Amino acid sequence: MIEVWIGAILLFCGLFSSTIGAFIGINIGTDVSNLPSATDIIGILKTHQISHVRLFDSDAHMLSALSNTGIEVMVGVTNEEVLGIGESPSAAATWINKNVAAYMPGTNITAIAVGSEVLSSIPNAAPVLVPAMNNLYKALVSANLNYLVKVSTPQSMGVIPRPFPPSTATFNTTWNSTIFQILQFLRNTNSFYMLNAYPYYEYVKSNGIFPIEYALFQSLPSVKQIVDPNTLFRYNSMFDALVDATYNSIAALNFSKIPIVVTETGWPWFGGAKEPYATVENAETFNNNLIRRVSNDSGPPSQLDIPINTYIYELFNEDKRPGPVSERNWGVLFTNSTAVYSISLSNSDGRANSSTVFCIVKPGADENQLRSGLNWACGPGQANCRAIQQGQPCYLPDTWQNHASYAYNEYYQKMHSSGGTCDFDGTATTTTIDPSYGSCRFTGSSNSSTSALFPPPALGPVSPFSRSSRNYIYLRQIGSLSAVILALILV
């Protein structure tokens, strides 16, 4: 282990992307029995370098905790709230003041999702949907926030009865007038169409018409290429086809230039006996390929120049949700911040542009390796690990991932000018997104109290033996190389 670091003298050469392109965000559902506190959730988002989140409601704790994090936020008007807001402009104004204006600009709220799949889940509320959107928009205008916050409403693929082939897709004619009004609103307010598109459900429904590779973004054998007979566009993935079916349905009502944002997509990693496709392997394949697909910045075949910004469903498994087993297993992370399967949620969006390079844990890194890397960084690496000790600002979330990220970055900021690398046996990666959260400031952050890149090592008091399982605390206290080596052998 130690020889690896002593031998590591190659200067790191940054290869971070500077594209201002599509982003990958994540939905945060909260039907979770041991839901971490809002502050801990922010720590988890930072650890995994998540830059965009969607909340299904407007939870005050989350909106406060998200302030000054640089994370972009979509808030939700719940289906229960839609009726009151649709019927009363003053209810809309109250909602905007309490849930949006009160948190801006500290919390970067950029969109409001009005209801969730209202047309397919509570069709009786359809008549108040557009009035609700209008009332909210007018309230934003009054608060002078309409240029910063978009209003839209997520719809399921259920409003498009026959999405394949995409060229002939149209909205269910039952919803002609409602959808027409929605599209008019989106065009007039420069907003976007919110689409919940699940290749998982379309695949399960299709009864074997499509190969599973198509749903999972995998390459198809040449005899099974999927081509739209009218446009001759070749569809490499069902995801692209669903997005194009929606663009074509919009075009069929004579609207154009309304971009689509995918507000939900994903794949469950566990299911009941009758849900054979809900597996870890499929979920891992789908979500990683999705991220790769979205990050290439191209749109679907009919709209190549409109990137498909996408929110993955979802951050945690919502174990309290009713329904089939799979319904409770869409999460990509456990609440202790470890990934359910190997996945890299970071994406280099426009903010990955600051001049500081941070060194953090690579999502999905092996825990035993993290433990060794952490011990090394805080011991022989001489990183200042004070902030990750109990009671200190970066202690929570109390995970190997979080603590190692902090320690790796401390080491890297101090040592990279003299040849220290951001590798840690392959468990580390560099990022230009500031991993700081709440009062936990990473060295190099513009707001770090030690924003000088080479802080003197702090020798402040630590509490030895407070966590026998976290022996790096103990090592830091002793600070002698022979003790470190001894303890590493004992791990």
Ligand X SMILES: *[C@@H]1O[C@H](CO)[C@@H](O)[C@H](O)[C@H]1NC(C)=O
Interface with ligand X (CB under 6 A)? 68, 70, 72, 105, 108, 110, 123, 161, 172-174, 176, 236, 240, 253-254, 293, 296, 298, 334, 336, 338, 353-354, 367, 434, 446-447
State which residue, 417 or 439, has the beta carbon closest to ligand X: 439
Closest CA to 85 of 134, 140, 12: 134
Give me 380's structure tokens. Answer: 């022989």
Which residues fall within 8 angstroms of residue 303, CB to CB, at 6 or more apart? 244, 247
Burial of 362 (0-12, 13-18, 19+ CB in 10 A): buried
Minimum Å distance from CB 399 to ligand X?
A: 6
CA distances to 288, 363, 397 from 342, rounded to whole Å, are 9, 7, 20
Does the annotation count 264 as an active-site position? yes
State which residue, 137 or 442, has the beta carbon closest to ligand X: 442
Cβ-contact 287, 27 below 8 angstroms: no
Catalytic residue, candidates 81, 202, 264, 284: 264
∠ at Cα 333 (290, 325), nearest 5°?
A: 85
State which residue, 355 or 482, has the beta carbon closest to ligand X: 355
Q: Is the link from the previous residue into 301 a cis peptide, with omega within 30 of 0?
A: no
**One-letter identity of residue 393:** P
How many alpha carbons fall within 13 Å on the CB side of residue 157? 24
* DSSP letter assigned to residue 159: G
Does the annotation count 117 as an active-site position? yes
Minimum Å distance from CB 328 to ligand X?
A: 13
Using DSSP's 3-state secondary structure scheme, residue 120 falls into helix
Ordered DSSP codes for 420-445:
--S-TTTTEEEESS---BTTB--TT-
State which residue, 402 or 421, has the beta carbon closest to ligand X: 402
- In whole angstroms, give the CA distance from residue 389 to residue 130: 51
State which residue, 228 or 434, has the beta carbon closest to ligand X: 434
State which residue, 175 or 411, has the beta carbon closest to ligand X: 175
Minimum Å distance from CB 362 to ligand X?
A: 16
State which residue, 90 or 176, has the beta carbon closest to ligand X: 176
Cβ-contact 118, 126 below 8 angstroms: yes
- In whole angstroms, give the CA distance from residue 277 to residue 57: 30
Closest CA to 314 of 292, 296, 334: 334
Tell me the torsion sign for CA atoms 365, 367, 373, 379.
Answer: positive
Instruction: Quote the strand ranges of 291-436, DSSP E.
Output: 310-312, 358-361, 428-431
State which residue, 161 or 426, has the beta carbon closest to ligand X: 161
Structure-token match 């420069």, residue found: 190
- In whole angstroms, give the CA distance from residue 1 to residue 7: 10
Catalytic positions? 117, 264
